[in-house]
Amino acid sequence: MRAAVQRVREASVVVDGVTIARIGTGLLVYVGCARGDGETDVHYLAEKTAGLRIFPDEVGKMNRSVADVGGEVLAVSAFTLQADARKGRRPSFDAAAAPEEAVRLCERYVQSLRAAGLNVAEGRFRAHMLVQSINDGPICVLLDSRRVV
């Protein structure tokens, strides 16, 4: 599993002209599931996301997690995180998990974040979403459960 984690002042998701999710200060997380991902990947990614210290402390050093600052999380599924653009000009998505498996993994990821005490809003799986955000920093961190060493 991969995640692109952005520290935001606010973020929202619009589907068919209707805002379906909105957060204030927190993390906008794009989540992409790969074939072969499982519970170990979900646990790793959720733990890393919840504990990622990318919010400033009282001296401005990135030393606080989203929970430490009372922030929220907006999780948005994005199979395109599994894109391979090394050959040609059109990315291949062969590494992405099948939709049925990806939705299960994304749901488990959100459940794990909620179990960690975080307030989590969600995009809509397989919908065309308009995602709006104000990135704070900008701070963007890539997480990959298969690149743990």
Give the pLDDT mean for 138-142: 97
pLDDT score, position 13: 98
Long-range contacts of 13-16 (CB under 8 A, 24+ apart): 13/74, 13/76, 13/121, 13/122, 13/123, 13/124, 13/129, 13/130, 13/131, 13/132, 14/129, 14/130, 14/131, 14/132, 15/123, 15/124, 15/127, 15/128, 15/129, 15/130, 16/127
pLDDT in tens, 31-67: 999 999 999 999 999 999 999 999 999 999 999 999 9
Residue 130 structure tokens: 């308009």
| Residue 148 dihedral angles phi and psi, to the nearest 5° | -90, -15
pLDDT score, position 147: 85
pLDDT in tens, 83-122: 999 999 999 999 999 999 999 999 999 999 999 999 999 9
Within 10 A of 73 (CB to CB), how many other CB atoms are there?
26
Q: Looking at the predicted structure, is the pLDDT value of residue 149 above 80? A: no
Q: Round to whole Å and give the CA distance between 50 and 29.
A: 11
Q: How many residues are recorded in the chain?
A: 149
Q: Round to whole Å and give the CA distance between 114 and 72.
A: 10
Q: Looking at the predicted structure, is the pLDDT value of residue 2 above 80? A: yes
Domains and CATH numbers, the chain: 2-144 (3.50.80.10)
pTM of the model: 0.95
Residue 82 DSSP label: G
